[in-house]
């Protein structure tokens, strides 16, 4: 079982391929805030609602970067981005190592079948690389609401 992170912890670093195949690292966002969110699978109803909600909220995010991470390969991430015009990095964590570091690779259950997968979660990383907020098991709609609240945009 992965360890859960807490407010004030150093955010685990990452260097993952984005939807265009180019690597993106957490260090690319040092000096500004970044919302790093994990979602189970690109182009599914909940993940689409979450991503489109973040896309639509971008003008209100005060320069906060948004980065989505799932186990999907870059090609699937690219199709998801193109279909919905998301405009922010979608990263491929195909071996789920980053998800494990953030404590979101967990045992799940569907129709009585147990399997390992992503627990939808979001993390607000401060300009210094420390976690300002953590939201485990967050709903798609709550992702945007929580972020706006943390940014004082309520």
* One-letter-per-residue 3-state SS of the chain: CCCCCCCCCECCCCEEECCCCCEEEHHHHCCCCEEEEECCCCCCHHHHHHHHHHHHHHHHCCCCEEEEEECCCHHHHHHHHHHHCCCCCEEECCCCHHHHHCCCEEEEEECCEEEEEECCEEEEECCCCEEEEEECCCCHHHHHHHHHHHCCCC
Q: Taking the CB of residue 19, how many other CB atoms lie within 10 A of it?
A: 25
pTM here is: 0.94
How do strand 34-38 and strand 65-70 relate by DSSP bridges?
A: parallel
Domain parsing of the chain, residue ranges: 15-150
Report the pLDDT value the prediction gives residue 2, as an integer from 0 to 100: 61
Strand partners, 131: 125
Pick the CATH number of 15-150 from 3.30.1300.10, 3.40.50.1100, 3.40.30.10, 3.40.50.300: 3.40.30.10
Report the pLDDT value the prediction gives residue 154, as an integer from 0 to 100: 61
Confirm if 151 and 62 have CB atoms less than 8 A apart: yes
Tell me the longest C-alpha to C-alpha distance in the chain.
45
Report the pLDDT value the prediction gives residue 109, as an integer from 0 to 100: 80
The catalytic residues are 47
Report the pLDDT value the prediction gives residue 115, as an integer from 0 to 100: 80
| Gap between the Cα atoms of 92 and 16, Å rounded | 6
Residue in the block written with tokens 């980065």: 67
Residue in the block written with tokens 């609240």: 149
Q: Output Rg (C-alpha) for the chain, integer angstroms.
A: 14
Structure tokens at 127: 């300009």
| pLDDT, mean of each 10-residue run, the chain (154 residues) | 86 97 96 97 95 96 95 96 97 97 90 89 97 96 96 80
């Amino acid at each position: 079982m992965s360890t859960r992170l807490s407010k004030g912890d150093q955010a685990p670093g990452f260097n993952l391929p984005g939807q265009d195949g180019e690597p993106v690292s957490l260090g690319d966002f040092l000096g500004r805030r970044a919302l790093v969110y994990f979602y189970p699978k690109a182009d599914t109803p909940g993940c689409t609602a979450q991503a489109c909600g973040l896309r639509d909220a971008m003008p209100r995010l005060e320069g906060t970067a948004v980065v989505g991470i799932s186990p999907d390969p870059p090609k699937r991430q690219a199709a998801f981005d193109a279909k919905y015009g998301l405009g922010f990095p979608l990263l491929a964590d195909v071996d789920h190592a980053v998800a494990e570091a953030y404590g979101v690779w967990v045992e799940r259950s569907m129709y009585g079948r147990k399997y390992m997968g992503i627990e939808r979660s979001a993390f607000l990383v401060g300009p210094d690389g420390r976690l300002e907020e953590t939201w485990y098991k967050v709903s798609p709609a709550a992702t945007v609401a929580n972020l706006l609240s943390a940014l004082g945009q309520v």
